[in-house]
C-alpha cells in the first residue's frame, strides 16, 4: 500500500502541513491510457477559509528526479473566508481617538486586521479585470474621510519586533496595489491586477473619520464595524460576479483592541454664584449640568476653577444637592 506523510512546503517553525507526500509501492506503470486512483481522507480545511483554488500535484521518480507538475481539474476547493482578527486600538494605550465626541470631525482611529484567506486579484483579462476588493464598513452616521499608513511610534506596539503594521495604499495617493473609494461610512479598496493580501498578514490602518452627530455607546447594536472581502480566486469560468463574503464583524477581543469605539456625548453646564462681588471670603456656587448619556455607577463630576486666576476652593469644599 502507498505510504502517506504530511509535510510543510515552507520550512519555518509553525508552518502548516499543506503537502501530502505519497510514496507508491511497486506497481504497473501509469500511462496515458492506464490510470491509478487513490482516495485520501481526514484532511482539515483551512481555518481561515480560501477563495476558489486549484490543487497542485508533482510526480517524480524514486530519487526525486524527472519531476512533472500538474494542476487539478474539475471542481475547485472553496472554504468560506474568515476574518481572523479585526479591532480598533482603544483608549488604554492613548493611540488615536483624540476627538471622541459627537459631531467631532477628522478623528483619527487605528484599525488592525488579519485576514484568514489570501485575497488575490487575477492578471488582467482581455475582456475584464478580475480584481479583488476589500471593504471596511463603519457604523451608520460615521463618515470615512481618509485611509493611510500608521506611524511606527504607536504605543500599542510596545517593544514588539516586528511591529505587525503591514500597510495598504493611502487614499490620498494611488499605489500599485490598488486605490481607495471613500463614500459615507464605506472605505473600499479596489485592488490592482496581480495584487495580493496574504492570509495571516497583520495590517494596521490609520482611518480618519467624522463622528456621528449623535452619541453611540459601545454596547449599541448599531455600533458594529464590518469587513467584506471580494475575489474571483482562481475561477476562470462563470465569471459573472466575484465571490463575496458576508459582512464579517470586528472581533478585537480584550486588551489594547476593541470591537468598536464609543461616540461620547457632551456635558452641558452653567454656573451661578450666590455672591457676585470680587474678593468674597466665602461664596456658594450653583452648578447646573445636563448629561447626554448615562454615566453608570461610581461616576464622578469634576468642577475646575479658572487656571490663571487666584481662584481657590479652599480646604473645606462642601458639595451638596440644591434645595428644592
pLDDT digits (tens, 9 = 90+) for 252-287: 767 888 999 999 998 888 888 888 877 777 777 788
CA dihedral for 151, 152, 153, 158, sign (positive or negative): positive
Q: What is the CA radius of gyration of the chain?
A: 29
pLDDT at 158: 77
Provide the grid cell at 70: 500538474
| Residue 48 near residue 199, CB atoms below 8 Å | yes
Residue 155 in 3-state DSSP? helix
Q: What is the pTM of this model?
A: 0.80
The residues, ordered by sequence, that sit 6+ positions from 194 with a Cβ below 8 Å of its Cβ are 121, 123
> Which residue did the predictor score with more confidence, 44 or 134?
134
| pLDDT, greater one: 189 or 62 | 189
Assess whether pLDDT exceeds 60 at residue 234: yes
Within 8 A by CB and 6+ apart from 263, the residues are 100, 101, 102, 211, 212, 214, 215, 216, 223
DSSP string, 276-322: -STT-SS--EEEEEE-SS---TT--------TTS-----S-----PP
Give CA angle at 13 (76, 151), nearest 5°: 85
pLDDT value at residue 138: 97
Separation CA 186–CA 173 (nearest Å): 18
* Sequence-separated (6 or more) residues with CB below 8 Å from residue 215: 102, 263, 264, 265, 292, 293
Is the pLDDT at 14 greater than 70, yes or no?
yes
**Residue 100 burial by Cβ neighbours in a 10 Å radius (0-12, 13-18, 19+):** middle
The average confidence (pLDDT) of the chain is: 84
Work out the average pLDDT over 15-44: 79
pLDDT digits (tens, 9 = 90+) for 113-139: 999 999 988 887 655 678 889 899 999
The Cα 260–Cα 250 span in angstroms is 8
Counted residue by residue, the chain has a size of 324
> What does the pLDDT average to over 45-64?
85
Greater model confidence, 142 or 41: 142
Instruction: Decide if 132 contacts 229 (C-beta within 8 A).
Output: yes
Q: Count CB-CB contacts under 10 A for residue 64.
A: 8
* pLDDT for residue 196: 87
Range among 22-26, 51-55, 232-236, 298-302 with highest mean pLDDT value: 51-55
Amino acid at each position: 500500500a502507498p505510504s502517506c506523510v504530511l509535510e510543510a512546503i515552507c520550512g519555518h517553525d509553525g508552518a502548516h502541513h499543506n503537502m501530502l507526500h505519497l510514496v507508491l509501492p511497486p506497481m504497473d506503470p501509469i500511462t496515458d491510457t492506464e490510470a491509478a486512483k487513490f482516495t485520501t481522507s481526514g484532511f482539515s480545511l483551512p481555518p481561515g477559509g480560501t477563495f476558489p483554488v486549484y490543487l497542485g500535484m508533482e510526480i517524480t521518480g524514486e530519487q526525486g528526479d524527472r519531476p512533472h507538475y500538474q494542476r487539478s481539474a474539475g471542481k475547485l476547493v472553496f472554504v468560506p473566508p474568515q476574518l481572523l482578527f479585526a479591532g480598533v486600538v482603544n483608549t488604554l494605550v492613548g493611540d488615536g481617538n483624540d476627538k471622541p465626541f459627537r459631531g467631532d470631525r477628522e478623528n483619527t482611529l487605528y484599525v488592525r486586521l488579519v485576514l484568514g484567506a489570501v485575497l488575490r486579484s487575477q492578471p488582467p483579462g482581455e475582456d475584464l479585470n478580475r480584481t479583488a476588493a476589500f471593504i471596511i464598513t463603519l457604523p451608520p452616521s460615521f463618515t470615512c474621510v481618509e485611509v493611510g499608513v500608521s506611524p511606527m511610534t504607536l504605543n500599542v506596539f510596545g517593544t514588539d519586533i516586528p511591529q505587525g503594521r503591514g500597510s495598504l495604499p493611502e487614499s490620498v495617493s494611488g499605489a500599485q496595489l490598488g486605490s481607495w473609494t471613500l463614500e459615507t461610512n464605506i472605505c473600499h479598496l479596489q485592488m490592482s491586477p496581480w495584487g495580493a493580501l496574504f492570509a495571516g498578514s497583520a495590517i494596521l490602518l490609520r482611518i480618519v473619520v467624522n463622528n456621528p452627530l449623535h452619541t453611540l455607546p459601545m454596547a449599541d447594536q448599531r455600533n458594529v464595524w464590518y469587513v467584506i472581502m471580494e475575489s474571483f480566486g482562481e475561477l476562470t469560468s462563470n465569471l459573472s460576479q466575484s465571490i463575496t463574503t458576508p459582512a464579517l464583524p470586528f472581533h478585537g477581543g480584550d486588551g489594547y483592541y476593541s470591537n468598536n469605539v464609543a461616540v461620547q456625548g457632551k456635558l452641558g453646564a452653567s454656573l451661578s454664584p450666590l455672591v457676585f462681588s470680587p474678593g468674597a471670603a466665602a461664596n456658594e456656587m450653583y452648578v447646573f449640568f445636563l448629561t447626554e448619556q448615562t454615566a453608570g455607577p461610581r461616576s464622578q463630576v469634576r468642577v475646575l476653577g479658572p487656571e490663571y486666576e487666584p481662584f481657590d476652593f479652599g480646604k473645606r469644599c462642601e458639595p451638596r444637592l440644591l434645595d428644592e
